[in-house]
Amino acid sequence: MSRALRTTYVAVILAFLLAPLGVIAAVSLNGRQTLRFPPQELSLRWYGRLFVESEWLVPLRNSLVIALFASALAVAIALPLALFVWERRGPGIRLLSGLGLAPFALPPVISALGFMIFWMALGGYGQIWATITSHAIFLVTLPLVTISLGLNGIDWSLVEAARVMGAGRRMVLRSVILPLVLPYVVSGYAFAFVLSLNEYIIAYMVAGFTVETLPIKIFNALRYGYTPILAVVSVLFAALSALIFGLVGRFGNL
């Protein structure tokens, strides 16, 4: 395949993938309360309204709080699990590692149903902390994979050299291992944050309408009429995801 043909092929694929986002971005510029394409009476007023209307600010706050804490909890679970698996070998260890990957292997609706039944039995249904915990368990696979990738890339001779010099287990962990895997920890947190911010099924099944996140708000808003704010939220989600993944790709060292 010639270079020109490869370039054309990649350009066509990129255009195909970006076309829906381009349509949504254009729709968000409608001056009237309509989802028309091409847009009419170009305006940015819907971007301003997103940040002044409480019916959108509350879901935005809920989404950010859930994503921030769920990602931190997912990393807090994944880091010791990844370290434990990295330092040991055996069938039981591989099974433990497989359990860490299991949440992402199941269809989200099955996980969501399980979380809903679990929290209803414990009395946590409809609570924001239950949503945070559910997201953390569901997304723990992402930081587990990135952290394990970083640990597997560590030169074991560095650990042995630190131990020969008299460093204890905690000192080796603090001065050698953690600095080397820090980019992978941050990357895992970023991946979990973005997916938690965009997650709908688990948030809806665990919290219902009690804790309304932005994805839930978007689906609810579709019942009562179309507004360009829906497109604005989609554009901001895509821009934030592109920014975070771009930074991970540039500085994550994955």
**162-195 pLDDT per residue, tens:** 776 766 667 777 777 778 888 888 888 988 998 8
Residue matched to tokens 């994979």: 145
Looking at residue 248, the DSSP 8-state letter turns out to be H
Q: What mean pLDDT comes out for the span 208-236?
A: 80
pLDDT band at 1 (very low <50, low <70, confident <90, very high): low
* Assigned token pair, 99: 């359990």
**44-66 pLDDT per residue, tens:** 777 877 777 778 888 888 889 99
Taken in order 58, 59, 62, 63, the sign of the CA dihedral is negative
Q: What is the pTM of this model?
A: 0.82
**67-126 pLDDT per residue, tens:** 999 999 999 988 888 888 777 765 666 666 666 676 777 788 888 888 888 888 888 888
Taken in order 197, 198, 203, 204, the sign of the CA dihedral is positive
